[in-house]
Amino acid sequence: MQALVCQSAAAPALFSAEGMVGVIFLLTVVLVFTGALIAVNAQRLVRAVAGLAVCFTGLAGVYYFLLSPFLAMMQLLIYVGAVSILIAFGIMMATPEEKRVTGMKSRSLLAGPLAFSTGALMFAALTVLGLKTEWQVFPRQGTGDIKAVGMALLTTHSMVFELISIVLLMAIIGALVLAQRGRN
């Protein structure tokens, strides 16, 4: 197929260094989908959060394969370390003891087969779009290492960098105000 953008066409042997890298990549992909399946389908909320952590650990491996070890570390720190723990705290604080389950059977039609078909349709459309498009490869100009990321963050994208810090500050203040409101 014309549209496939592959860096090296030759397939490596199984018992070579490149073959081992391929096996490790397949393992990380399996980790991602196992975690995602658990997170979406688990009956108990705590298991869903554990699946989220597993999926994001695998996704950190995928980022490593996309030549960005820095983003892989950030993924582990922010998602696995912070967001999953935050959601686990939310489950502990905002769920009654006997109702920590997320029963999938809902009364509405939207939550049953319609949800599944919507997801399947999205997947089919995005996959066809990704595989059929003639992607155009541009010649490389930068290195993309962590030094280049830091330079671009403080020169080209400095406005967004300032704005994101304001967004985070507002999020902290808003979370404090919201969580305090119902308490009397």
Partner 1 sequence: MQLLNLYNCLSTYLVIGALLFSFGVYGMLARRTVIGMLISSEFILAAASTKFMAFNRFLAPDPAVGQIFTLFIMAIAAAEAAIAISIMIAVYRNFKTIDTDELVDLQG
31-60 residues in contact with partner 1 (CB under 8 A) are 32-33, 36-37, 39-40, 45, 48-49, 52, 55-56, 59
Question: Which of 2, 11, 17, 159 forms a contact with partner 1 (CB under 8 A)?
Answer: 11
**136 contact partners, CB below 8 Å, separation of at least 6:** none
Q: Dump the DSSP string for 74-117.
A: HHIIIIIIIIHHHHHHHHHHHS-GGG-B-----SSGGGTHHHHH
**Is the alpha carbon torsion for 48, 52, 57, 61 positive or negative?**
positive
Question: Which of 2, 107, 134, 159 forms a contact with partner 1 (CB under 8 A)?
Answer: 107
Interface with partner 1 (CB under 8 A), residue total: 108
Question: Which of 67, 97, 98, 134 forms a contact with partner 1 (CB under 8 A)?
Answer: 67
Least Cβ distance, residue 33 to partner 1 (angstroms):
7
Q: Which two tokens stand for residue 89?
A: 């705290």
Within 112-171, which residues bind partner 1 (CB under 8 A)? 112, 114-116, 118-120, 122-123, 126-127, 130-131, 135-144, 148-149, 151-153, 157, 160, 164, 167-168, 170-171
Q: Which residue has the tokens 């967001």?
A: 83
Least Cβ distance, residue 147 to partner 1 (angstroms):
9
Least Cβ distance, residue 84 to partner 1 (angstroms):
9
**Can you tell me the distance from the alpha carbon of 83 to that of 32, in angstroms, rounded to the nearest whole number?**
17
Q: Which two tokens stand for residue 179?
A: 């969580």
Question: Does residue 2 belong to the site contacting partner 1 (CB under 8 A)?
Answer: no
Q: Which two tokens stand for residue 105?
A: 């059977």
Question: Does residue 80 belong to the site contacting partner 1 (CB under 8 A)?
Answer: no
